[in-house]
């Protein structure tokens, strides 16, 4: 049951991050006519989404505290959520855009290990950081031109599509090397 509780806490946290991103990006999504976004298409209202975010924050807190994460793991989990929210609010528009990915995804193993009273091995954190950064660089490519036009100038937008792909390939390769050559 412990792993299910951790998974539920992380899932609720992902709802917080994803839904807050939709709320924060609503003006940009509307301007870009992204009709696949529920707020833009009118499928849900901003008021309902705000209530869902509050509920997801509460669920993430309850699942984190009641499960095996305890106080320490919950604190780290919520620092990861804060980092991801800072990305949504501002950092995605700066050259520092990969930092929340590195911190937030890296917080996952730290929360689990420290809650168990152990230090996570460096290779786990490094692997999470490498793959998360590659994911960030690749994830924005689908909206790269629109982002640039709207002034969203994170690292991938600044270095461009080809460099983002090339750096991602190097990061993924380094991640696999990290995993397979661990001590």
Reported as a single tens digit per residue, the pLDDT across 120-157 is: 898 998 999 999 999 999 999 999 999 999 999 999 99
The confidence score (pLDDT) of residue 119 equals 87
pTM for this prediction: 0.86
Cα of first residue to Cα of last residue in the chain, in angstroms, is: 30
Rounded Cα gap, residues 118 and 107, in angstroms = 14
CA 136 to chain centre: 9
Closest by CA to 80, choosing from 114, 50, 110, 54, is 110
The confidence score (pLDDT) of residue 69 equals 86
For the chain, how many structural domains are there in total? 1
Residue span of the structural domain in which 51 resides: 2-180
- Give me the mean pLDDT over the 31-36 stretch: 90
Residue 57 has pLDDT above 80, yes or no: yes
Q: Residue 39: left (phi > 0), alpha (psi -120 to 50), or beta?
A: alpha
Determine the 3-state secondary structure of 34 from DSSP. Answer: coil
Residue 49 has pLDDT above 90, yes or no: yes
The predicted-structure confidence for 88-124, as pLDDT tens digits, reads as follows 999 999 999 999 999 998 888 888 888 888 988 989 9
């Amino acid at each position: 049951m412990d792993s299910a509780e951790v998974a539920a806490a992380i899932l609720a946290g992902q709802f917080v991050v994803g839904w807050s991103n939709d709320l924060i990006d609503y003006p940009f999504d509307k301007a870009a006519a992204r009709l696949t976004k529920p707020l833009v298409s009118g499928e849900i209202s901003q008021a309902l989404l705000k209530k869902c975010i509050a509920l997801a924050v509460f669920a993430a807190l309850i699942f984190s505290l009641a499960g095996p994460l305890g106080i320490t793991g919950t604190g780290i989990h919520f620092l990861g959520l804060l980092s991801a929210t800072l990305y949504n609010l501002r950092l995605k528009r700066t050259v520092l855009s990969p930092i929340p990915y590195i911190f937030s995804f890296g917080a996952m193993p730290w929360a689990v290990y420290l809650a168990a009273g152990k230090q996570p091995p460096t290779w786990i954190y490094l692997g999470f950081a490498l793959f998360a950064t590659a994911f960030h660089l690749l994830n924005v490519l689908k909206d790269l031109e629109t982002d640039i036009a709207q002034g969203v100038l994170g690292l991938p937008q600044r270095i461009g599509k080809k460099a983002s792909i090339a750096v991602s390939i190097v990061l993924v390769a380094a991640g696999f090397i990290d995993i397979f050559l661990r001590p």
